Amino acid sequence: MKYHYKLKNLPFDFKPFDVMKNDNLEKFKKRNNTEAQTVLEKSFSLDECKIYNKEFIDWIDDNKLELEDIRYFESEPFCSYHLHKDLIGVSNEDIDQVKFNFIFDSFETNMTWYKIRASTKGELYLNSQGYPIYRYLKETCDIIFTTDVNSHCMINSGVIHDLVNGYNNGINRKCYSFAFSKINWNESVERFKEFLN
């Protein structure tokens, strides 16, 4: 199953903006697989996004789409995320989560999706907000699909996946991530087909 499509010919241009602004960055820093790897992660509001991306927000409204999570991620070169689902909760079931990711300054990042083997399960831990989620070991999963994720895309982040940066020209990768609610993966592929590559 393919859980990634590049976005093309969207009727708006997503414009990157400074989500972190005057924030104390320490507050939003997360460690990844090793101490050397850091991700900045911050939720932001639709209203803030609208200042810079009115056309996109209008498009969301016009299409009667609903968002459940809006988040900015900035990851360092060679950063790699462990295997996880973006959804909060501790189930081995795959529950679709459809995201539009608008990606900037990304040159050699790959994402791989996995299927967990029967009779194994994830390891419980608390995410940055203190919610319980599972993370998974590669050894207990089989690869479904791998792709580069260096440009705007639609993904299913409800299925186990990782994210692995390369050197990335020595700069941080930026991702503005919008999770839709009330729409599953197959519906999204059909609904947005004119924008998928």
* Residue 160 CB, nearest approach to Fe ion (Å): 9
94 lies in the site for Fe ion, by CB under 5 A: no
65/87 with CB nearer Fe ion: 87
* Residue 161 CB, nearest approach to Fe ion (Å): 6
32/157 with CB nearer Fe ion: 157
* Residue 165 CB, nearest approach to Fe ion (Å): 13
Question: Do 179 and 70 form a contact (C-beta atoms < 8 A)?
Answer: yes
Sign for the pseudo-dihedral over CA of 182, 46, 153, 84: negative
Stretch that binds Fe ion, among 30-38, 117-125, 155-163, 179-187 (CB under 5 A): 155-163
59/78 with CB nearer Fe ion: 78
* Residue 84 CB, nearest approach to Fe ion (Å): 6
Pairing assessment for the beta strands 132-136 and 80-84 based on DSSP bridges: antiparallel
106/157 with CB nearer Fe ion: 157
Question: Do 151 and 131 form a contact (C-beta atoms < 8 A)?
Answer: no
57/110 with CB nearer Fe ion: 110
* Residue 93 CB, nearest approach to Fe ion (Å): 17
* Residue 11 CB, nearest approach to Fe ion (Å): 27
41/65 with CB nearer Fe ion: 41
Residue sitting closest to Fe ion (CB): 86
Binding residues among 28-87 for Fe ion as defined by CB under 5 A: 86
Stretch that binds Fe ion, among 42-50, 112-120, 157-165, 175-183 (CB under 5 A): 157-165
Task: Count the residues of the shown chain that bind Fe ion, applying the rule CB under 5 A.
Answer: 2
3-state secondary structure the chain: CCCEEEECCCCCCCCCCCCCCCCCHHHHEEECCCCCCEEEEEECCHHHHHHHCHHHHHHHHHCCCEEEEEEEEEECCCCEEEEECCCCECCCCCCCCEEEEEEECCCCCEEEEEEECCCCCCEEEECCCCCEEEEECHHHEEEEEEEECCCCEEEECCCCEEEECCCHHHCCEEEEEEEEECCCHHHHHHHCHHHEC
Residue numbers at the binding site for Fe ion (CB under 5 A): 86, 157
